[in-house]
Amino acid sequence: MSDSSLAELLRARGLRLTAQRQLILQAVLDLGHATPEQVHTAVREVAAGVNITTIYRTLELLERLGLVTHTHLSHGSPTYHAAGEDQHVHLVCRDCGAIDEMDPELMRPLAEQLARERGFRVDIGHVSFFGHCARCGNGSQE
Amino acid sequence: MSDSSLAELLRARGLRLTAQRQLILQAVLDLGHATPEQVHTAVREVAAGVNITTIYRTLELLERLGLVTHTHLSHGSPTYHAAGEDQHVHLVCRDCGAIDEMDPELMRPLAEQLARERGFRVDIGHVSFFGHCARCGNGSQE
DNA sequence: CTCTCTGCAAATGCTTTGCAGATAG
DNA sequence: CTATCTGCAAAGCATTTGCAGAGAG
């Protein structure tokens, strides 16, 4: 499914289908949420020689092709995940770093209110909430 | 107002009140939203010799003192702003880069729903929404 | 006077770029 | 075959750290 669409998208632009590109896309799909470095680690398990540079270049390419997206969670590294229908909102725990997801539908009322009152159209696919997950922040208030 | 509280907070910890610290705090208060580099630029207009290193160290200090907070908007650089009562949610326009604010009260229903259903406590002061502001994204659907 | 701050320069970590050989089509 | 890819090494940024002199209290 993804391999063939990758091939098509590449060929349509005169670009080439390579093992690295397939592996990197697959890694992003498998990992769900991953930084370039995590993708690198995952890909290396299958093909040891793949360079981190190629990860960066390919993630950028896959994003241009519309197959993946990235978000900036808290600090430094961007997180990549598959693009497409299943847009989701990230719930990032400040304590344990866990990344959970929630249904973007829950954003709908707020998004509509902002659009109506401010003319601001929220990009629902890029929303991240920071806070404390059930496991970490339950008892304490701070 | 802020100078005296800065002095107190510093003295309470055996730390010192310096010109740089006052200028940097003032810059953050004036700028509203600013990256370390923007703070640096602003401070330099008054005191040319202040080093970027001092900006980083002081912003970290001011944050520890509870006077400022930072958020990570879209790419790399963190954005600092005054902490305190007036918590707000950022609305960042992907087109023109403008940073607007909205009343965090609007987040309340959603935050409560998340707490109830998932046990996730959203840190409302650190929420940022990306999208298109009234000026930029009005006509097109994109 | 003492202990904290600051500026400078070098180190670090993540990401990007240049180039020549490897390879898809 | 030819133009695109990849790996390697080096360059770039933003941020951090070490150190010795400057300065607050």
The arithmetic mean of pLDDT across residues B129-140, rounded, is 76
pLDDT single digits (tens) B26-64: 999 999 889 999 999 999 999 999 999 999 999 999 999
Per-residue pLDDT, A127: 83
Given an 8 Å threshold on Cβ–Cβ distance, is A122 in contact with B109? Answer: no
Name all domains of chain A by residue range, CATH numbers in brackets.
3-82 (1.10.10.10), 89-131 (3.30.1490.190)
Question: What pLDDT band is residue B103 in, cutting at 50, 70 and 90?
Answer: confident
> Which positions in strand D are less than 7 Å from the protein's CB atoms?
3-10, 14-18, 23-25
* Whether the Cβ atoms of residue A37 and residue A43 lie closer than 8 Å to each other: no
Question: B70 to chain A: nearest residue by CA?
Answer: A74
**What's the CA–C1' distance between A29 and C24, in Å?**
24
Rounded to the nearest integer, the mean pLDDT of chain B is 87
Look at residue B126 and tell me whether its pLDDT is greater than 80.
no
**Which residues in B lie closer than 8 A to residue A118 (C-beta atoms)?**
91, 100, 102, 133-134
Average pLDDT over residues A92-119: 87
- A-B C-beta contacts closer than 8 Å: 91
* Nearest nucleotide to B59, CA against C1' atoms: D15
Non-local (6+) Cβ contacts of A124 within 8 A are: A87, A89, A104, A107, A111
Q: What is the pTM (predicted TM-score) of this model?
A: 0.84
pLDDT of A33 > 80? The answer is yes
Question: pLDDT at residue A142 above 50?
Answer: no
> Any chain B CB within 8 A of the CB of A66?
no
Task: Considering only CA atoms, name the residue closest to the C1' of nucleotide D16.
Answer: B53
Residue A114 contacts B where some CB pair is shorter than 8 Å:
yes
**Length B115 CA → D12 C1' (Å):** 43
High-pLDDT (> 90) share of chain A, %: 54
> pLDDT exceeding 90 applies to what percent of chain B?
54
The pLDDT, as a whole number, for residue B142 is: 37
The reply to whether residue A119 touches residue B126, judged by beta carbons under 8 angstroms, is no
Q: Provide the pLDDT confidence category of residue B141 given band limits of 50, 70 and 90.
A: very low
C-alpha A98/C-alpha A94 separation (Å) is 8
Residue of B nearest to A135 (CA): B119
Region B109-122: mean pLDDT is 93
Closest Cα in chain B to A98: B120
Contacts of B114 by beta carbon, 8 Å cutoff, 6+ apart: A91, A102, A106, A129, B120, B121, B122
Q: How many residues does chain B have?
A: 142
Give Dmax over CA atoms of chain A in angstroms.
Answer: 56
Query: What confidence score (pLDDT) does residue A139 get?
Result: 47
